[in-house]
Each structure stands twice: as structure tokens, then as C-alpha cells.
Structure 1
Amino acid sequence: MRGAWTARLLPWAVGLVAGVLALGPALGRGFVLRYDMVFVPDLSVRGVLADADGFPRAIPSDAVVGALSSVLPGDLVQSLALLAVFVLGGAGAARLALRLLSSADGPTAGTAVASVAAGVAYVWNPFVAERLLLGQWAVLLGYAGLPWVVAATARLAERSPGRGLAGLVCALIPAAVGGFSSVLLSALAAGPVALWRRGPRALRWWARAGLFAAALVLVSLPWLVPSLTAGAVTDPRGVEAFAPRADTPFGVLGSLLALGGVWNAGAVPPGYGEPVTALLRLVLCVLALATWVWWMLRRDRPVFGTGLSVGAAVGFTIALAGATGAGRAVTSGLIELWPGFGPLRDAQLYVAPLGLVQALGLAFVVWWAAGAAQAPVWRVGTGVFAALLPVVVLPGLVWGAGGRLEPVEYPDEWVRAQNEVAADDVPGSVVVLPWSAYRGLDWSGETTVALDPATKLFDRRTVWNDDLSVGTPDGGTVVVEGEDPLAVQVAGVLDPDPETGMPRGEDLAAELGALGARYVVVSAPVDNGFWSEGQGFEVVSEGSEMTLFRVPEARVKADKPGITGLEVTGGLVTVGAIIWSVGRSGSSLVLQCPGPRAGRSTRKEIPT
């Protein structure tokens, strides 16, 4: 019984402790605003769905946040979302290692410590730290689900098709919330597992592949359907802007091998890249990979080992290709051929499956170091020390990345403007000024670079400058053009000053109203407020931090926004599939069995 409770509770404790230690102040009241991570009070689901004219990256995650924000405070929803990354990821990797390394008699001290090592290593690494500092919490939620997806995919060979599909859809819930990048990572990590899995009663490879593809499509419909009609374009220059960069003394190759190498220098955790800690981190990663390879050569290797290894190798190859001129040229050519190849721009993202490989490899090292249940205390102590090494070699993630994840409160003027727009029944979009996507938020205390929160503040379509300026290592700047066609038209009317981001155009109320704009919001203190004089706007609210202008109703040519029946159907199918998967598999994500054991002695389940 003690072993059973260890198997159930220990993995979740690992993820919870790691999350609290890493997030620290970010779990307090207020909103953490950093780069892509923008949560607002009372996020509107209607506003989320109305912003689908570009590539609908944030539809699933923002829709879920909006739904939760209708019953919980928005800052609490953010805290739960961030904590879920560590809890689900740490528990998933720990449960997988515990299942693989436990004997028929149940878990021992060695396997318990090894599972702790897997959970800690999977959520405490440069990939998680850098993506967290980039604000890409939705991507990390999909990353957290990878151990669950790999385990569920491996079980496709042992279950009836209906129950196998249900278990896989259930495991894909984090990816469904995370959106397209999360689904791509799940396909990369677990797709080869579906093809390589073997067993005396295994389904044929094409049947497993079909079930896997069906599960991916079912959870992708909320973003897949609107993307087919969005008319979005993808700028190939993003390949150069988002190329992996060296963030350690060991170049791009060493940085990627250590699960780092993100393109944004502002997302590197404090102290990361120092020679001593970077060397220890690299040695730890090489040791974990070498151990994984040795484990793959044993007869008791994990049944999903070959497939996961292939997925990790392919992902690492994509990441490494993004760091070479030839690789970037090929990717740019593919994007010019079809914008759907756009997700390949951020090549470093695809080292994610390698993170799971390294976590399981380290677990095997710790399992060997800690020994069996009756091992001497010094061996168990050695295993515990090894399990905590990921934290030791990456101290910059501790307590909100050294205070970089501090929550702040929105000024009253922002909330007042949000309420004013919500009370208006006249249709029309909101144009967000200054005409710059990312900027420093002075009212947040220490100036923080983030996507302008006004782009998500209102319950209607917002139009903003979705171009992205990225600095290059040689000191230059690459401007990656945005994906929203309407933003291009609005920019032509505004003729924004490149220095201030404020308009220089004339008769703006009439011109913007003709494009369907009802409001113009200035979400920053602006000294040259005279720009709005004589433009035909009505001042709704005015303050030092936000000013809201309204276009007279007679000048607004906008229809009431609606959602197509196809988009509604897609969302309902995904929600229905998730509800069905929980009922059909007889478990939620939390209660799923940890996964298959290693070797040929895997216990088979009798389909019911």
C-alpha cells in the first residue's frame, strides 16, 4: 500500500514543489506581463474569437482562459495556468520513469528517487526557463503534456481502438489548450512511437497511425478551422530572426544540446551561460543522453524508446538546421511555397522531445546510483543529490527567475476603458496605439517588455501592429511582417510616426470608420496629444495611462461580428471529443495509468 501511494502522490508532489520554487512571486495576486504572456482582467471569449483574422495562434488558450475568467479572477487563472505547466510536466515525467523502473514488487527507494530526478529534470531546464521568460506559457503547457501523450500512444498497441483513441485524446488535452505549436510538438514526440511500437497483440502500424492522426485532428479543430480561411501570410524573414543563438560558451550546438539556444537574449535566465554552470549543465545532458543510448541497447529498454528517440533526433535536426545558412534557406523556401510551414521558423522549439529523453536518461542514472530498497544510505544520498542537480546547475530559474516574474495591477483607467467599450452595442473594432506590438510598460513598476495588453483587453476585434522587430547578433534589426491583412490597411491610414508610433494621417475618424473601427485607444502616456485634434473623434475617457476615443456611429461601417457555423462546429467537436475521451477511457488526465513498463514483459490490458 505504501508503494501504491508513493506511485500516486510522489510525482505530483515533485511537480508542485518545482512549480512553487520556480514561480515564487508569480503566484501572488496581480498579473505577470512579459513578452507573449498577457493576461487581462475579465478576458472576453467573444473578443478572442473575433481576433481570428490573422493566424489563430492564441484561440484555444485564450478561449480557455476567457471561460475560466468568467468564474475566477483573471490573475488566479494565470497562476493556475503557470503552475499547471510544472505540475503536469513534472508528474508526467516522474510517473513515466516510476513505471519503467519499478519491479513487479512495486517501487523501491531507488525508483522513487529516480522518478524525482525525471520530474525535476523535465521541468527545470533552459527550455522551460527561456520559454517561460518569453511568456509562451501555452507552448509550455503542450510541452508538459508530452510524457502523457507518449505513454498514451504506446498504449495504442495494447488497447481496443476506441479505448486507445479515448486515452490519447485525453492525454492531448494540454496540447489542445496550448494550440498549434503544442500539437506539433506532440506529433513530433509521439508520432514515431505510434509507428514503431511493437507487441504480440499490437494493431497494425497504419491503424495506430490513423488513430494518432485522428486524435491530433480532433484536438486541433478550434485553431485549424479558422486558419484555413484566415488569409494570413507568413514572412520568410522570420527564419533569420528566430534562428537559434548561442547562449552558452559552447556555441549553438552545445546550447541546443543543453536545451537552450533561444533566439531572444532577453529570455535567458539570470546567470545562465556562466562557464562553470554551463559546463556542468552540458556534462549532465551528455551523461543523460549517453545513459539513454545505453538503455536502448538493453533487452529491458522502454517499449516506446525507439520512437521517442527518433522524434528527439528529428527535432534536434530541425533545431540545428535553423542555425545554419543552408537550413534557413530551405525553411524560407518552404514558407514561400506554403505559409503553413511558418511554425518551422522558431527552430529551437523542436528540442522539446529531447528534454523528455534527457529526463528519462537522468532517471536511469539516478536509479543506478541510488540502488535498491536496501541500499546503503550513502547510495540513496548520492541519488538524491543527482536528482537535484538540474536545480543546482540552473539557479536562475529560482523564485520567479530572480524576480523577473513579478505580478502587477492594471491601472484604473484601463479597467474603466474596458467597461466603456463593453457597454457599447454599436459594432466595430478597436485600433490600438501606439502602433507598436511590443513595448515597455512603465506602469508595471520595473519597465517590462510585453505585448501591449490593450490588444486583449476588449470584448471585440482589436487591430494592432503585429509586425515584430528582432535584433540580430551583428547589431542590425530584422522586421518580420505581421499576418493580419486588416492591420496593413489600418497602418496605411494611420501613417504612424516610426519614433512615437502615433498617427500622422488626416481625417482619421472617417478613414478608420470606413475600415470598421469604432474605437481608438492610446494605451500609453503621450505628450503630443494634439494629434487627435480635428480628427473627428469623440473623447470617451482620458487619463495619464490610457485615453479612449470613439468614432461617431454615423462614420462606422462595420457589421456585427459573427462566428461561422464551421468554426462553431469545430469547437464543439473538440469539446465533445474531450468529454467522450474522459468517459470512454474511464479516467481523466490526472488518473491515467502512468504508461507501459519497459521490456517485453509489459502487462497487457484486456479490452472491455
Structure 2
Amino acid sequence: MPAYALALTLLVTGPLLRPGYLLLRDAVSTPRSYLTDAALGLTEAAPRALPQDFAVAVASHVVDGGVVVKLLLIAGLWAAAWGAARLVDVVVPAAGVPGQFVAATVAGWNPYVAERLLQGHWSLLVGYGALPWVAVAVLRLRDGRGHPWALLFWIAAAGLTPTGLMLAAVVAVVTCAGPGSGWSRWRCAAWSLGAAVLGALPWLVAPLLAGSLRMSEVAGVPQFAARAEPGLGTLLSLAGLGGIWNGQAVPASRTTAFAVVATVVLLGIVALGLPAALRWPAARPLLVLAAVAVIAPALMATGPGLAAVEALTRAVPGLGVLRDGQKWVALALPGYAVAGASIVVVLRRRVPGIATAAVCSLALLAVLPDLAWGVGCRVTSVSYPAGWTAAAALIDADPRPVAVLPGASMRHFSWAGPAPVLDPLPRWVAADVLTTGDLVIGGQVVPGEGRRARDVERLVGSGAGVDELAAAGVGWVVVEGRDAPRLGLPVALAEDDLVVYRVGGDHRGAPHRGVMIAAHLAWLAALVAGAAGTIATAVTRRRRGAV
């Protein structure tokens, strides 16, 4: 089963095996990253990319950052398919290997994977891949055959991003309701929540130190709501594991009425297997969670639901993470995998299990053909122009604060393909880069939290000189884009699609860096300890079995 899961994953991510970097919408990989204030969460922006930026910065000192990101993405998708098969082996053993094939295909080949790839949410997909393993770890603890180290590892792995950790924590707590004579439900839940808090320390501590919980997260709630696909309402789009808010980050087959066919096939397989899955007590909490994971985001996309989300984010600004309702559909993965695999049990008397598995798996592949090969070659490796490497080296030699124009977060570069991308500079240089975080969605500007960057942008736009910008704490100004206007500042580097101006101002780094590094090291310690404990336990058990 690991081999099938890997083959499925490589069929999706094949273009990323070429040399180059993943640079697509929210996905940014660069040759090197650093532990800047932004990477540690000590800026005005909400800590959405913790501890992901810390992990990539540390790893890129050993391995090229582009390789790190691509390997993590591939590992996440592989874990999703393999983990779904492993979950079926634990929850519905009667489904056997044929059922595991169906589960692996359901988890590794669906619209959620395609849309999150196109949106560039590689770290979210790592968390997605950890979910079935979290469920397996909890069920093993409940039946007395597992070890808490495995659960610690998978929750920490999912915690590469805040959303991933929240998803893993929910799956863990819900799975604790399953049957077992080992660890009690309360003990399992306590360990799960303890592991989640440990993994969440980076993004729990950062807002307290940086004061980055801003009311601006209230903006954009309607723009980030789940979206209905052609021929399907919002509820059915979500039930089919689609419906991302960004209509541009959707595979072509989901932009026509063919989306109805694909949804019918997926839901048909899940629905046919549901009666058999419900007979297994360990499956019931996961199936209930799957239903909630579909219904709740659909309700959030209604008028009252949007009002409720806005009210919540006003009351608790940190809950702006709830805005993107469709990403919570990932919670349906364990339940869908178990129900889909159970179709083999339902049809066994009439159809051989291997035939059922083959038909179901091929049908799932056929109704989403453009997920293959980087979602139709839209997720691929790109190469940076030489000028970007030169600019990064210039700034790294004197890492003073950098102001970047234009102020919006997203860019269009001819060498990166037709889709917009996040500015790579903040993740490439050792200096802190001032960014507004503004997003343009459907012609509307969703303001970010970068107030200082916005003030500096106004200064530059007003024609401020070197002395005024230096007094504002600006060391460099980088203007990106081929048609960018020239500024009346000293030019340090001029290339086709960017110009670097030397200003010379300095700015004191944020305090509490030591505290934030310690918080990140706590997450890293949980990850390493979980992995080491799991390996040591497996080795010990094999030795005992050999004796």
C-alpha cells in the first residue's frame, strides 16, 4: 500500500521533481530563508505561517529551501493516501487490501487536494496528510496497542501551520470517542490537547509578544466564504470536497457541469459504503465528524453564517483563521476514507473485492483527470532570474529593513506563469521586509495588518528623499515589475524586473526573539521526540517479536 500511495502522489506532483522552486499563489519557496522577525511571528501580521517559516529557515541552512518545500509537500500527500489505507486496516479490517486501495484513492485524489495545490497551500496539505495517522494513533491508544509518541509526532507534524494543528486536534479529540479498553477517553483527550498546545506555542505566544491580533481580520469574510460550483449548491460542492473561495484556483474539470458527475461518483462510493461503515463503532465518530465538516462550512457561507463569523472575529480577532470555511472540509477525510473503503464489504457477495476496488479507484481518477501531473501542469517548478539572486545577495550583505513596491502582497511575474504569486523577497533575505499584506479579491481590497509598511509606501509615493526614508527606518527600497516607475533614490542594482535602491536607514529588531525561538524549539522538540519515541517503540516491539 505505501507503494500505491507513493505512485498516486508522484502522478500528482511529478512536475515538481524538476529543478526549480514552487512559486504559485500562497506557495513561496526560495533557495535560503532566515530567522527574521517575520519568520518568528514578531511583526504586525497575524502569525499565519508559524512554525512553517521557522522550519524552512532552519532546514534551508542544510538543504536548498526549494527542495525542502517540495519534499514536505510530497510527503504530506503520500501520508494522506497511505494513512487513509492504514486507518481502514484499523477501523474496518473486513475491507481488506481492496478497501485500502479505495481509501487511498479517496484521500489522495480529490478536489480538495487539487484546489489547495493551486492555491499554494502546501503546508496545509502536510496537515491534511497527518489526519488519518492522528486517528490511527488515537485508536491504537484506545485499544491498548499504541504508544503516545506516535500521536505526539503526528499532531506536531500537522502543526506546521496553525490550521493543520487545529484540524489534527479536532480529529484526535473526536476519535477519542471510539471504543477501546486501553487508555480512557479522558486520558486520550488530555494527551491530545496537551500535544496540541505544545505544538501551538509558536502562534499562541507570538500575538502576545507582538500585539498582532488586529481587527483587520474581520475584513474579507464574504470573500473567503465557500463557493458553489456549476450545477451544485454550496452544500453539494463541499460534500464533493470542492468549493474553495478562489474560483481561479480550481481544476478545469470543476468549472463546468462535469463537476456534477465527479461529485455524484465520489458521494456514490461514500454513500454505498456508509451502511457497512456504521456497523463499526470506531468509524462512527469519524463519520459524524465528516458530516459536520461539510455542513458547518456550508452554513458559514450563508448570510447568517457570515454575520456569525464576522461577530466571532470581532470578539476574538485571532479567530480570523475561520474565514476560509472550505479548508475545514479536510476534517471529512477520515470519515470519507472509511466509508469509501466499506463499499468493498457491501458488494463482496456480488462482486470480488479487487474488482470493486479497481472500478471505484479508476472512477475517482477518471472524474478528476486534470489533477494528474501538477493539476494539468499548473503546479510546477520555476526558476528565478539571475537578478533576484543578485538582489538577495546585495541585501543580505547589509540586512537593513526593506520597503517593497507595489504594496499589495501578490505579484505577476512572466517567468513564474500566469497565476499571481506572493512576493518571494520576504522569505529570501536576512533583512525584515515591510509588507502591507493587502489582497485584491474580486476587485475588492482586503486590507492586511502592515500599517508601518503602508505608511512607508505613502512616504515613497510622495517622493520622499533618502533622509526622510532613513529616518523612518528604511534601509532599502525594492521596486518589482518590468513597468515599475523609477524613484529619485540611489540605485544599487537595476535588473529587468526589479530595481534596488540604497537608503541606509536602520531599525531596531523586535524584542523577545529569544522567547519566540524557545517557543519554536518546543514545537520542534515535540516533533523530534515523537518521531524518536515512535521509532524506538517499533524497534523494541520487533525485537520482542523476534525473541
TM-score by length of 1: 0.83
* Matched-pair identity in %: 31
**2:208 maps to 1:188:** no
Alignment partner of 1:67 is 2:58 = yes
Structure-to-structure mapping, 1:462-501, within 5 angstroms:
462-471=433-442, 477-494=443-460
Q: Provide the rounded CA distance (Å) in 2 between the counterparts of 1:480 and 1:125.
A: 29
On the 8 A contact 1:52/1:59 being kept in 2, the answer is: no
1:4 corresponding residue in structure 2: none
In the other structure, the counterpart of 2:230 is 248
Letter paired with 1:295: A
CA deviations over 1:378-432 (Å, ceiling 9, x no partner): 66334312123221111111111112123221111100111111111xx531111
SS in 2 for 1:253: helix
Aligned residues: 539
User: What does residue 400 of structure 2 align with?
Assistant: 428
Which runs of structure 2 are paired with 1:332-481 in the superposition (5 Å)?
A: 332-369=310-347, 380-424=354-398, 428-444=400-416, 446-471=417-442, 477-481=443-447
Q: RMSD across aligned C-alpha pairs, in angstroms?
A: 2.6
SS in 1 for 2:404: strand
Q: Which amino acid aligns with 1:442?
A: S
Structure 2 counterpart of 1:306, which letter? R
Is 1:197 aligned to residue 163 of structure 2? Answer: no
TM-fit CA distance, 1:158: 4.0
Q: 1:507 to 1:310 in 2, by over 3 A?
A: same
Aligned: 1:216 with 2:168: no
SS in 1 for 2:444: strand
Partner of 2:500: 548
Q: Does residue 39 of structure 2 align to residue 87 of structure 1?
A: no
Return the letter of the residue paired with 2:403: V
| 2:241–2:329 Cα contact (<8 Å) kept | yes
Q: Relative to structure 1, is the Cα distance of residues 159 and 273 closer, same or farther in structure 2, using a 3 angstrom cutoff?
A: same
2:208: which partner in 1?
Answer: 228
* Residues 55-204 of structure 1: pairs in structure 2 closer than 5 A: 55-102=46-93, 111-159=96-144, 164-177=147-160, 179-194=161-176, 196-203=177-184
Task: Give the 3 Å change call, closer, same or farther, for CA 547–47 of structure 1 in structure 2.
Answer: farther
Give the Å deviation of 1:226: 1.0
CA distance, structure 2, for counterparts of residue 98 and residue 158 of structure 1: 14
Matched residue type, 1:120: T
Report the Cα offset of residue 557 of structure 1: 4.3
Q: Secondary structure at the match of 1:436?
A: coil
Q: 1:355 to 1:158 in 2, by over 3 A?
A: closer
Contact 1:237–1:478 (CA under 8 A) maintained in structure 2: no
Contact 2:272 2:346 in 1 (8 A): no
8 Å CA contact retained: 2:401, 2:473:
yes
Which ranges of structure 2 fall in alignment gaps of 5 or more residues? Answer: none
Q: Is the 8 A contact 2:406 2:480 kept in 1?
A: yes
- The structural deviation recorded for 1:367 is 4.5
How far, CA to CA, are the matches of 2:52 and 2:516 in structure 1? Answer: 16
| Distance in 2 of aligned mates of 1:94 and 1:198 | 20
Q: Tell me which moved more, 572-581 or 181-190.
A: 572-581
- Residue 122 of structure 1 and its aligned partner are, at CA, apart by 0.4
* Cα separation, 2, equivalents of 1:569 and 1:343: 24
Write out per-residue CA displacement over residues 358-395 of structure 1, whole angstroms, 9 at most, x where no aligned residue: 22211111354467xxx98x663343121232211111
Structure 1 residue 31, shift from structure 2 partner: 1.5
* 2:14 aligned with 1:43: no
Supply the distance in 1 between the matched residues of 2:382 and 2:529 (Cα, whole angstroms): 39
2:264 equivalent to 1:283 = yes
Aligned 1:274-313 pairs, distance under 5 A = 274-275=256-257, 277-291=258-272, 293-298=274-279, 301-303=280-282, 305-313=283-291
Q: Which amino acid in 2 is paired with 1:566?
A: V
- The answer to whether the Cα contact below 8 Å between 1:288 and 1:358 also exists between their aligned partners in 2 is no
Alpha-carbon distance change, 437 to 289 in structure 1, aligned in 2, over 3 angstroms: same
Q: Which residue of 2 aligns with 1:512?
A: 469
SS, match of residue 525 in structure 1: coil
Say which SS state the counterpart of residue 59 (structure 1) adopts. Answer: coil
- The 1:366–1:508 alpha-carbon spacing in structure 2 relative to 1, beyond 3 Å, is farther
Q: Distance in 2 between matches of 1:248 and 1:466?
A: 31
- Residues 508, 13 of structure 1: CA spacing in aligned structure 2 closer, same or farther, 3 A cutoff? farther
- Provide the rounded CA distance (Å) in 2 between the counterparts of 1:67 and 1:342: 28
Tell me the amino acid that sits aligned with residue 506 of structure 1: G
Classify 1:23/1:592 alpha carbon distance in 2 versus 1 (closer, same or farther; 3 Å): farther
* 1:323 and 2:304 matched: no
Alpha-carbon distance between aligned partners in 2 of 1:315 and 1:366, rounded to the nearest angstrom: 24
Q: Is the 8 A contact 1:168 1:212 kept in 2?
A: yes
Name the residue aligned to 2:514: 565
Letter in 2 for 1:355: L
Q: Which structure has the larger Rg over C-alpha atoms?
A: 1
Conserved 8 A contact 2:42-2:209: no
Contact 1:218-1:577 at 8 Å conserved across structures: yes
User: In structure 2, how many angstroms separate the alpha carbons of the residues matched to 1:125 and 1:547?
Assistant: 42
Deviation at 1:350, TM superposition (A): 1.0
Q: What are the Cα deviations for residues 280-319 of structure 1, in whole angstroms up to 9, with x where unaligned? A: 3222333344345413542xx052x233233323322331
Task: Please name the residue that 1:258 is paired with.
Answer: 240
Partners of 1:527 and 1:227 in 2: how far apart?
35
Q: CA deviation at 1:140?
A: 0.8
* Shift of residue 180, structure 1, vs aligned partner: 0.4
> Which of 528, 538, 556 is the matching residue for 2:490?
538
- CA distance in structure 2 between the partners assigned to 1:27 and 1:409 by the alignment: 13
Question: Deviation at 1:448?
Answer: 2.8
Residue aligned with 1:32, SS: strand
1:183-210 CA distance string (max 9 Å, x none)? 111123222222x23334442x433322
Q: Would you say the 8 A contact 2:478–2:500 is kept in 1? A: yes
Report deviation, 1:66: 2.2
Kindly indicate whether the alpha-carbon contact (under 8 Å) linking 1:225 and 1:567 is maintained by their aligned counterparts in 2. yes
CA distance in 1, matches of 2:270, 2:484: 56
CA distance in 2, matches of 1:49, 1:189: 28
Match of 1:52 among 42, 65, 69: 42
- Would the aligned equivalents of 1:142 and 1:186 in 2 still touch at CA under 8 Å? yes
